[in-house]
Amino acid sequence: MTTATIVDNADDWDSISSHLVLWPLEQCHAYGEAARSIGQVPLRLRVDVAGERVQAQFLLRRAARFLSLAQSIRGPVATSWHTGVGHAALAALFDGLPRRWPALTLAMPEATSGSDTDALLRPLGYRRVISPYRTALLDLRSDPDALRRRMWPAWRNRLAVGLKSRLRTRSASSGPLIDWVLSNSLAEMRRRRVRGPSLPFAQALTGALGARRVLAVTASDDEGSCAGAIFLKHGPDATYWLSLTTERGRRKHAGNLVLWQAIETLQRTGTRMLDLGGIDTDRAPGIARFKLGLGAEPHSLSGTYA
């Protein structure tokens, strides 16, 4: 009988990353530890079947007075979603969850929208409750000239303006630069009523990852900082996590400059894939154009199941 095992060692848990197209930030060990700091309990379950591996980091919390929630964000992940492997592994993963009632389990398999995840999950009693999530992925294994050629002309032109401007860029892995981007980007998200991480969780996540896996880049002019972004490295990949560009910075295309400077740094450190985050061409077409204009490829997942 196939059963799930609990994995607590960080290196062991993250070792699956080299066998995946992308190792999602939300599935890495440090993300679970950051969630622990705000009262959630990470439970990391793994199943090995027929030479393939399927694993999921669930975050357990009390969603309401009488309801327990187990949620896997961007997970489970798998070295193969072949029906025979996937069905047995998913059944074992869900059987490994604590038996509490009433309880709700949410899973967001890191499988492309073309995968038949319905065929894997429906026999287990799961139904899709949230439509597929779309992100943009940029493969950094090309040289900088090749990346520039993949940019949309408008994006390339704006980058040229930023490079020729008198903007000064700085990068850091800890200290005031990180604090400036964290506090100002989260404040801007609250002002625009955009959902984002809390400041305590953001600080816990950068702390759990450690300075070696955090990169902040800012751009400034004579009036001060006008753009900045934080990139988080997890396994061989990285995530464009938080960013902020002021109106002054937008006029000078500082956001394009910050992102490009970070890409060059990430390439030098051997980063494989950059996850630019969610895209929604209907609700936020400007943000989608900014990410896709860089030359990134849209990546649609299968949706969230309950």
pLDDT in tens, 220-254: 999 999 999 999 999 999 999 999 999 999 999 99
Query: What is the 8-class DSSP label of residue 123?
Result: G
Is 263 contained in some domain? yes
Most confident of 90-104, 114-128, 234-248: 234-248
- Which residue blocks in the chain are alpha helix, DSSP H? 10-14, 29-36, 83-95, 117-121, 144-150, 153-164, 176-191, 199-209, 247-251, 254-268, 285-292
Span 266-275, mean pLDDT? Answer: 96
| Residue 60 banded pLDDT, cuts 50, 70, 90 | very high
Domain that residue 225 falls in: 135-301
Q: Which residue has the higher pLDDT, 81 or 157?
A: 157
Reading phi first (left if > 0) and then psi (alpha if -120 to 50, else beta), residue 131 is in: beta
Q: What is the structure's pLDDT at 116?
A: 77
**Are 244 and 216 part of one and the same domain?**
yes
Q: Does residue 306 belong to any structural domain of this protein?
A: no
With contact defined as beta carbons under 8 Å apart, do 217 and 169 qualify? yes
Residue 261 structure tokens: 């400077």
Distance of CA 72 to the CA centre of its chain: 13
d(CA 263, CA 201): 25
Statement to judge: residues 33 and 52 lie in one domain: yes
pTM for the predicted model, two decimal places = 0.95
- Our measurement of the distance from residue 196's CA atom to the centroid of its chain's CA atoms, rounded to an integer in Å, reads 12
Six-digit token string for 303: 């949706």
Specify the pLDDT at position 113: 59
For residue 216, pLDDT beyond 90: yes
Same domain, 36 and 139: no
CA distance 272 to 23: 10
Question: 164-206 pLDDT, tens per residue?
Answer: 998 999 999 989 999 999 999 999 989 988 888 999 999 999 9
Residue 118: predicted pLDDT? 82
CA distance 71 to 140: 30
Residue type for position 303: G
Number of domains within the chain: 2
Q: How high is the pLDDT of residue 172?
A: 94
Please give the Cα distance from 133 to 73 (Å, whole number): 11
Mean pLDDT on 260-271: 96
Q: What is the DSSP letter of 112?
A: B
Residue 33 reports pLDDT greater than 80: yes
Cα 160 to Cα 256: distance, rounded to the nearest angstrom: 9
Average pLDDT over residues 59-70: 86
Considering only residues 62 and 16, tell me which one the structure prediction assigns the higher pLDDT: 16
The Cβ of residue 115 has, within 10 Å, a number of other Cβ atoms equal to 17
Residue 268, pLDDT score: 94
Q: From CA 107, how far away is CA 94, in angstroms rounded?
A: 10
Q: Residues 89, 155: one domain?
A: no
Using the 8-state DSSP alphabet, how is residue 132 labeled? P
Residues 155 and 176 in one domain: yes
pLDDT score, position 290? 95
| Average pLDDT of span 16-43 | 96
**Of the given ranges (26-35, 83-92, 136-145, 271-280), which has the lowest mean pLDDT?**
83-92
**Domain end marker among 95, 126, 157:** 126
Is there a single domain that holds both residue 69 and residue 108?
yes
Instruction: Report the candidate in 232, 251, 167 with the shortest Cα–Cα distance to residue 26.
Output: 232
Among 75, 101, 126, which residue terminates a domain?
Answer: 126
The domain spanning residue 162 has which CATH number?
3.40.630.30
Structure confidence at residue 83 (pLDDT): 64
